[in-house]
Amino acid sequence: MFDPKQLKLAEEALRKLPVPDAGARAYLDKHIPRLARTLALVPPPGETGRALELGCYMQITPLIERLCGYREVRGGYYGEPGKTDEKTMVFPDGEFRCFVDHFNAERDPFPYPDGHFDLVIAGEIIEHLILDPMHMLLESRRVLQEGGYLLVTTPNVASVTSVAKVLDGHDNPQIYFLYNRPAPGVEPEIGHFREYTNYELGEAVKAAGFEVKQLFTTFIEEFSSHLPLLKFLKEHGYDAENRGEQSWCLAVKRSSLPVNRYPFFIYCD
């Protein structure tokens, strides 16, 4: 799963990351375990040395270069196609620069040529897509070189926490199910439209023509009170594997593999 040395280095680097305000620091501190694990799963650079981070919030972005060794890191963010932002982050030993391209990852062609990247990271993206998640996976495949990697992270709707919510009968079983309150002058963000089981995530990635190398879940500490339910599941004949709240999938582009554009478990006829 995670290389302990890389995980420790990632955690230390994230704690030292420059942030603009106290709110950003609080968010970063809360999510360091997930972000560090994402970085620890990043494979070494390949032939191009380029990486694309979809949903770029400039949290792990500079560390893909500084820690993981990629020579060029590009960001993709939801917005009007054709717009590009340049973002910077100042470190004691230098400045990190990143271009962030705006486009709709489930509707627009990604603004990059075929085989341009060694790595595409889609961290906490697929659960927000409302129309066509396979478009994002297929475009990620197109812009990856042969043998390039796709890294997807997303909540696991079949987690022990989701089971606990169903049994309790009060809360929605998705890990995050709330809407943002409308506010004047603030563009609303898309919440979690559809969360996936770990199995569904692997099948969707395979349907896009990838070979899955790692597929697993991890538990989130704040939901640990639900862990006793794992015993309940086993005692009643249910699979207790991959019941963590966070799903991880690392896959490799293989041009020889078939593509299923509309998997039945995501799309209706």
Task: Say yes or no to pLDDT of 105 above 90.
Answer: yes
Q: Which residues share a beta bridge with 52? A: 74, 120
Q: Which residue has the tokens 């820690």?
A: 67
Q: In a 10 Å sphere around its CB, with 0-12 CB exposed, 13-18 middle and 19+ buried, how is residue 101 labelled?
A: buried
- According to the model, what pLDDT value does residue 263 have? 98
The structure tokens listed for 262 are 């509309």
Q: What is the pLDDT of residues 110-155, one digit of tens each?
A: 999 999 999 999 999 999 999 999 999 999 999 999 999 999 999 9
Share of the chain above pLDDT 90, in %: 94
- Segments in 69-197 forming alpha helices (H): 133-143, 160-168
Could you report the per-residue pLDDT of 24-33, keeping only the tens digit for each?
899 999 999 9
Please give the structure tokens belonging to residue 112: 């990059």
The per-residue DSSP string of 153-220 comes to: EEEBTTSHHHHHHHHHTSS-SSS--PPPPP-TT-PPPP-----B-HHHHHHHHHHTTEEEEEEEEE--
